[in-house]
Amino acid sequence: MLGNKVAPDRFDDLRREWIADHQGIFPMQKRRAELLNRQIRWRNRVLAGARPSASDDNVVHPLLTRRPTTFEGWAEWIIVWTTAILAPIGWPVGRLLYGHLLSFIPDRLRAYPIPALLWTAFGVGMLTVLLYTPDGSFTATVFAPYFIAQIPATFAIAGVYGILNGWIAVDGSTEWWPQTPPPVPVDLDLPLGPDDLTAPHIFLTEDDTDEAAIAPFQITQSDQPVGLVLAGLAACAIGSAWIIGAVIASVL
């Protein structure tokens, strides 16, 4: 958020509300809600010309700068380090994939495609399970499935990022590929009128629509069914447990 460029509103208020409602005991989710809240205030200040309030922009510190002293702190650390060990490549690449898909909203996608990512992860992961043939060597038994598993982990983590960042609250995020509908064609059947002879402006003007997209029309959290998302999460969890168990059994 440097300079005067205004970040587009990608249902920030709805997602912040959903994250705050479902943050549970995890400070990292509280931090996500606070970051979205800060972005909303920053956008409003820029568009309205209001003076910023520094006291409103304090957020929870990043995880690596917080010492785990409570149960929720240790729970976060266990989850994060387990993910880092199991998906050292899939995690950062999945985060990049999340950001790449986010750039398509709202121009090409009207929501974040969570089911497509989770079920792609499951499909690619099943290939890893079916092709797993340990032969006693460390490379074939441990390294090969560990390296190949980073591919489905990329899609799974990108899908989980969509959930953690509150996209469940947006209509279309539980669909396979929620494309933005084409604009309605304009029927110009009006009678011809006089030409616009208005003189150019004396002062330089700028169209704000180039900098910040018009606020999304959805104002309440979505009540769409999330069965496809839950099934995708369960399938990914079962597939991960299966391949981890198979590798451990082969080593032992």
**Tens-digit pLDDT profile for residues 132-162:** 777 777 777 888 888 888 999 999 999 999 9
Question: Does residue 177 or residue 214 have the better pLDDT?
Answer: 177
| Domain membership flag for residue 134 | yes
Which long-range contacts link 92-101 to residues 24+ away (Cβ below 8 Å)? 93/150, 93/154, 94/153, 94/154, 94/155, 94/156, 94/157, 94/158, 94/160, 94/161, 95/157, 95/158, 95/161, 97/154, 97/155, 97/158, 98/157, 98/158, 98/161, 98/162, 98/165, 101/158
d(CA 243, CA 231): 18
Question: Does residue 1 or residue 87 have the better pLDDT?
Answer: 87
- pLDDT at position 210, please? 45
* 60-74, 197-211, 237-251: range with highest mean pLDDT: 237-251
**Tens-digit pLDDT profile for residues 11-44:** 877 888 888 888 778 878 888 888 888 887 777 7
- pLDDT at position 213, please? 46
| Domain membership flag for residue 196 | no
Portion of the chain with pLDDT greater than 70, in percent: 76
d(CA 167, CA 106): 13
Mean of all residue pLDDT scores within the chain: 79
Stated pTM of the model: 0.74
| Domain membership flag for residue 25 | yes
Please list the alpha-helical segments (H only) found in the chain.
12-21, 27-48, 71-86, 90-102, 114-130, 138, 144-148, 150-164, 227-251
| Domain membership flag for residue 155 | yes
- pLDDT at position 35, please? 85
| Domain membership flag for residue 190 | no
Query: Given pLDDT bands bounded at 50, 70 and 90, which one contains residue 119?
Result: very high
| Domain membership flag for residue 167 | yes
| Domain membership flag for residue 136 | yes
Q: What is the mean pLDDT of residues 103-123?
A: 90
Domain that holds residue 84: 12-49+71-179+217-251
| Domain membership flag for residue 60 | no
Q: What is the mean pLDDT of residues 226-233?
A: 90
Please say if the pLDDT value at position 85 is more than 60.
yes
Total domains present in the chain = 1
Portion of the chain with pLDDT greater than 90, in percent: 21
- pLDDT at position 115, please? 93
